[in-house]
Structure 1
């Protein structure tokens, strides 16, 4: 029969092992790669609800936003990145940093709420941007656009949030085929990617946005279904994002599930495993 001393030592060793494992995982997540699960359809078709990827945190260097936020609602744990690394917040600089490139798909920290977002970088510091009839104009010139058929998906609840997709061919009954027009957009510098259109709305025609120094302008590829830099922060949008709020670049999808849970193996999208993000 084990003595109380031996039992106590085993418990201490187990606790130490758990603490060391958490520390190693925290360092890895802070310095190298952060997991990110796509919760919404704002980046379709580049990223689908249920895509799971790792964010490259080395590529842009480090700031307070590189520290992970730890949120476990079941036990009431809510530790924000600012709580952990807020001491280096406020100067809008990065350590060992390099500037992102136009067209990068970036995970960043919302300037007000602190929530992690993922969008495409379309506007650099000093740029002037405007939407005209659904076409992005950068510094007075319309980006390249080429029609590229349709994007289709089932009209059904998607992801843990259970939201239905928005469709250009509304009304669509549950189980029907939801369609959106697809175009290939080419940004200055040559980056090309698919964007989707649902219909004419206010965000298709805007005033001119002048991106401040040290800030960036982001948009979702699913243009009519994205709360992004076109919408001011005070009314639920993203606005201009400071350099220090960048977390990293999305380079590759590791895993993808079309179901309400990643455990529903029959909904796994095998064609998206290890797929590069463009």
Structure 2
């Protein structure tokens, strides 16, 4: 995704520069030579630049500062997000950031507990990952016996039943489906595998430093998250996921129309 973003920036500025230079220096000269053979014709490269620059500029602005599409490739956020979900991410919820280097230029808001966020993990800065914020700066987080503790308080859980997966998520069939309550608007569903092999998976205690967040996947036993690589710096945030606009999983028969419009 980072290389696509870089390419989009380069193409936008290159086409804009070609168009600008032509208007400032070469278009007037061509107009003055009008009628002399074919010298008044606009060069092909200028024609393409003029045609594509507005389109590229609009796409760049929308992707960088409004909303950006992402595709879910793994099961780490099941059952909230399924493999093959196409989501939209709000790019201004946590401040306006420059494309490519992700530097914040305008502060707008900060993540809240329960937000589903897209970010670039410190260990893989060229990749985009998605998890749920469970710990805010200054929080004490603990995870043991499949229970999440925030500042010494155990999160509330309500058993829903056995999960039934489909498509590429079918291997999670039989896992325990629970509703987890982080307080406020932080109620969501999580999956746990009832097996001694996962009893000590991700167990530990952490204190979240200022300017950083503790993130976890909703598929608790199939997620590589802050329990294993540490807290997430605010500078790595990309935006807040808010909508599933399509799901396509060939293993589940193609498009799942019931997923379209699912809010996060």
Residue-pair matches, total: 225
Correspondence 1:149 to 2:161: yes
Give the SS at the match of 1:43: coil
Looking at structure 2, the residues matched to 42 and 5 of structure 1 have their Cα atoms a distance apart, in angstroms, of 60
Which residue does the alignment assign to 1:99?
Answer: 110
Q: TM-score, normalised by structure 1?
A: 0.74
Which residue does the alignment assign to 2:76?
Answer: 42
Which residue does the alignment assign to 1:186?
Answer: 181
- Give unpaired runs (5+ residues) of structure 1: 68-80, 159-163, 168-177, 233-238
Looking at structure 1, the residues matched to 91 and 65 of structure 2 have their Cα atoms a distance apart, in angstroms, of 6
Looking at structure 1, the residues matched to 80 and 212 of structure 2 have their Cα atoms a distance apart, in angstroms, of 24
Alignment check: 8 A CA contact 1:129 1:137 kept:
yes
Looking at structure 2, the residues matched to 123 and 220 of structure 1 have their Cα atoms a distance apart, in angstroms, of 13
Give the SS at the match of 1:231: helix
Which residues in structure 2 correspond to 1:1-278 (within 5 Å)? 9-63=43-97, 66-67=98-99, 81-82=100-101, 88=103, 95-114=106-125, 115-154=127-166, 158=168, 166-167=171-172, 178-198=173-193, 199-200=195-196, 201=198, 204=201, 206-232=203-229, 239-259=230-250, 266-277=253-264
Root-mean-square deviation (CA, aligned residues, Å) is 2.4
User: By how many angstroms is 1:10 displaced?
Assistant: 4.5
Alignment check: 8 A CA contact 2:242 2:263 kept:
yes
User: By how many angstroms is 1:4 displaced?
Assistant: 6.3
Stretch of structure 1 that moved more, 51-60 or 198-207? 198-207
Which residue does the alignment assign to 1:73?
Answer: none
User: By how many angstroms is 1:17 displaced?
Assistant: 1.8
Task: Say which one has the larger Rg.
Answer: 2
Alignment check: 8 A CA contact 1:130 1:205 kept:
no
User: By how many angstroms is 1:258 displaced?
Assistant: 1.7
User: By how many angstroms is 1:23 displaced?
Assistant: 2.3
Relative contact order: is structure 1 or structure 2 higher (C-alpha 8 Å, sep ≥ 6)? Answer: 1
Give the SS at the match of 1:188: coil
Looking at structure 1, the residues matched to 202 and 87 of structure 2 have their Cα atoms a distance apart, in angstroms, of 33
CA separation of 1:95 and 1:267: change in aligned 2, threshold 3 A = same
User: By how many angstroms is 1:97 displaced?
Assistant: 2.4
Alignment check: 8 A CA contact 1:56 1:248 kept:
yes
